[in-house]
Structure 1
Amino acid sequence: MASSLSAKTGRAAPKGQQTKAVIVDAALALAAQIGLEGLSIGAVAELTQMSKSGVFAHFGSREELQISVVREYHHRFEQEVFFPALKAPRGLPRLRAMFANWMRRTSTEIDSGCIYISGASEFDDRPGPVRDALVESVSIWQAAVLRAIEQSQSEGHLEAQSDARQLAFEIHGLILALHYEARFLRVPGSIARANTGFANILARVATDAAPPASTADGGRTAARRLKPVR
């Protein structure tokens, strides 16, 4: 990304890269509202007050613009959710941090929308480069969650015989249910129920060696042992 390139080199990004970054940023904001399928060169040109030919010069096609939006969304997701969680110790603390970060981002997307979820609905049965970009991004994140669960098992925090893929499936399901209930149905208390669901999943498979949750990583208290919340 243009911003990270500037940070590494200490020099301002070329004007072309800056302009492209502005276009992608505007397209991402628009896609969050109307979906990837609603994106068009003309709509983004109007939003950025550029000419259609100017936008087209940077992307060449609507499909390329859509793919750039998916990649930028993934980049921001990693920066907000995944990389900060790596500061937590391996095992359950890191898994908790990942979920807490994921929940914070999800809570802001209740109003703005999630590209992963809306994109899956739009492109689930439409093969092509845009769908491939979405599948790749979501798969990378799901693999990271699965790896964090497996590390929690190897650290002795979660039962070794528990099905790691099942746990990852259930955790992902909490986020999907949260989007549906909070964004579509507008059900009060959905965020709290998602957090309770995560606590219950962990409590079901936690070992005696599992470190207690802290307020920093989204737990209710550092002193309480893991117990299912009812």
Structure 2
Amino acid sequence: MEPSSLSGLPAGVGEALEAEGVAELYPPQEAAVEAGVTDGESLVAAVPTASGKTLIAELAMLSSVERGGKALYIVPLRALASEKKAEFERWEEFDVTVGVSTGNYDSDGEWLASRDIIVATSEKVDSLVRNGAPWIDDLTCVVSDEVHLVDDSHRGPTLEVTLAKLRKVNPGLQTVALSATVGNADVIADWLDAELVESDWRPIELHTGVHFGNAINFDDGSQREVPVERGEDQT
């Protein structure tokens, strides 16, 4: 499936993805599109690292903005929030504005009302909801990155309650949950009333092996010689 063939995105986005080198969607991304991620359907994507989770989120958010809505991308860490904001800012040439909010938990973040995509930590989103941020009611799409953290004793309760509050305020909210390590994806999908896209596909095949002496012995029975430089230990 070519990005330029996708409907529901801002004009030119599909072609821009192809210019970035995305000639074809990865299988998990294609499955997400078939599950309705660009049509406002909620989705849990449980796929390995580097298999295209972020693009699934971008497709959901950009299509939501194209329909006149507003999207929220929730991350567990402030550093990740800044990283994602910088990544999403490339869509500003398509008139999609991006903002980030991670600090000052007593603020309602009123200035974010003018942004189409907002990146924030779960703690900040919880604060925004409690402080009555006026734009919360306008959200049409929320993405939860690293959703497996709902099982974390420290961050889990805040994330779980925050998602529940957002869905209560916005009954028709599209919720997209992403994780590479979640063990109960079906349970989370049921909780979020979401479609489940679960895959072990990777762009590069991984193999497990043991390095001993001058070779790596892989679990499929194959072997690769790894010459040891003079002076190095053979371990």
Q: TM-score, normalised by structure 1?
A: 0.26
Could you say which structure has the higher strand fraction? Answer: 2
Q: TM-score, normalised by structure 2?
A: 0.26
Question: Which structure has more RCO (C-alpha within 8 Å, separation ≥ 6)?
Answer: 2
